[in-house]
């Protein structure tokens, strides 16, 4: 196993929720590379990069030499999308994609009072909740009218916005960051609507892009990510892709822990001699915002239908149903978020129509 970082095992979702718990990067690491090497009987080579692949000779070139392989798994992850902003403070913008990034974030935000977050999607909202719980005022900038705009119906985004606002989050929606300037450790952020904001730090949470270049140069088929079949195998026999860098048959990227674990188990079985397809169960997405929990199941890309709301007493369910009234997706928040297990069981079934207005 060749790793560009130190090879430590940790829970990546904790990166956007650990500030409030005042955890250091070392406290987030469950096992070192040495510990995993002993426990799993695997050679872990940290702090090394794979420079190129040669599928015909089944070799890889690394910063410490060549390795040959029988089968190869690419678990390359994804890179934060660069902000590409103007200003002499643009190089101070932080993004968090691994333990080293988190360590830099903690150091930069020591003593911070106000931190601006670029992006009101899932990660941006999680960071906002985490900063808030850690005693820092978050300012969130997003070009959409509501947070979670690409993930949930507008009403769910609004409910999250209102609750986080009541807790202390400051929203700047329908606008973008134009430039970031630095003066005596203070950052001045100019928005496209003309507002000027003084903050102690800026976090970019505008999304990730799968790392595909290594595969592309080697002649492996790519689109958004590295294309894989039902077994996780790429267009080149003997090379598999897993996790944030993989793109599955229906065109989906699945940059979440549970689908990565499921795909890893299936690929491991195939590599061990038992051909095993990857079967993903219904997997709702949980937005880790304890102030106002949100759980959403997005419908498949090919499903035609529409969102509607079902209300009963203090329950509010946003449902995505097709023309036959079958449930294909849902979004719930606040106290209604507790009902997501029962809704998950209903997916694929006809669901009661909402009462007439």
In CATH, what number is assigned to the domain containing residue 201?
Answer: 3.50.50.60
Q: Are residues 121 and 48 in the same domain?
A: no
What pLDDT score does 356 carry? 46
Domain co-membership, 167 together with 53: no
Residue ranges of the chain whose pLDDT lies below 70: 351-357
Report field, pTM of the whole predicted structure over 0.85: yes
Task: Identify whether the C-beta of residue 304 lies closer than 8 Å to the C-beta of residue 311.
Answer: no
Beta-carbon count within 10 A of 244 CB: 22
Residue 92 covered by a domain: yes
Q: How many helices (H) and strands (E) does the chain have?
A: 8, 23
Whether residues 189 and 110 share a domain: the answer is: yes
The pLDDT value given to residue 357: 41
Q: How far apart are CA 185 and CA 334, in angstroms?
A: 38
For residues 99 and 148, state if they share a domain: yes
pLDDT confidence of residue 20: 85
Give me the number of domains the chain comprises. Answer: 3
Res 354: pLDDT: 53
Start-to-end CA span in the chain (Å): 58
Which helix (H) or strand (E) segment holds residue 166: the answer is: helix 154-167
Q: Are residues 109 and 202 in the same domain?
A: yes
197-223 exposure pattern, b = at least 16 Cβ within 10 A, e = fewer: bebbbbbbbbebebbbebbeebebebe
Give residue 184's pLDDT: 83
Name the domain boundary from 206, 239, 262: 206
Domain that holds residue 309: 293-346
């Amino acid at each position: 196993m060749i790793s560009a970082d130190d090879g430590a095992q940790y829970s990546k979702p904790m990166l956007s929720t650990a500030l409030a718990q005042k955890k250091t990067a070392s406290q987030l690491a469950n096992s070192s590379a040495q510990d995993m090497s002993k426990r799993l009987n695997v050679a872990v080579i940290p702090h090394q990069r794979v420079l190129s692949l040669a599928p015909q000779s089944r070799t890889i070139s690394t910063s410490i030499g060549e390795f040959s392989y029988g089968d190869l798994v690419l678990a390359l992850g994804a890179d934060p999308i660069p902000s590409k902003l103007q200003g002499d403070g643009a190089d101070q913008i932080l993004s968090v994609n691994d333990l080293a990034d988190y360590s830099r974030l903690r150091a930069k935000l020591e003593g911070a009072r106000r931190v601006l977050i670029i992006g009101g999607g899932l990660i941006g909202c999680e960071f906002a909740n985490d900063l808030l719980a850690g005693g820092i005022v978050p300012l969130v900038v997003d070009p959409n009218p509501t947070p979670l705009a690409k993930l949930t119906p507008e009403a769910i985004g609004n409910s999250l916005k209102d609750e986080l606002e009541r807790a202390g989050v400051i929203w700047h929606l329908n606008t973008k960051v134009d430039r970031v300037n630095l003066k005596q450790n203070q950052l001045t952020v100019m928005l496209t609507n003309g507002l000027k904001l003084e903050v102690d730090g800026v976090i970019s949470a505008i999304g990730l892009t799968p790392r595909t270049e290594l595969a592309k140069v080697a002649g492996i088929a790519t689109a958004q990510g590295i294309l894989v079949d039902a077994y996780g195998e790429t267009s080149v026999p003997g090379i598999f892709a897993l996790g944030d860098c993989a793109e599955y048959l229906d065109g989906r990227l699945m940059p979440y822990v549970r689908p990565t674990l499921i795909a890893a188990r299936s690929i491991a079985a195939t590599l061990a001699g038992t051909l095993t397809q990857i079967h993903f169960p219904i997997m709702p997405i949980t937005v880790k915002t304890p102030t106002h929990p949100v759980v959403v199941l997005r419908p498949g890309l090919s499903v035609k239908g529409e969102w509607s709301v079902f209300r009963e007493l203090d329950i509010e369910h946003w449902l995505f149903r097709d023309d036959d009234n079958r449930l294909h997706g849902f979004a719930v928040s606040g106290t209604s978020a507790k009902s997501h297990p029962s809704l998950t069981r209903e997916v694929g079934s006809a669901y009661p129509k909402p009462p007439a207005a």
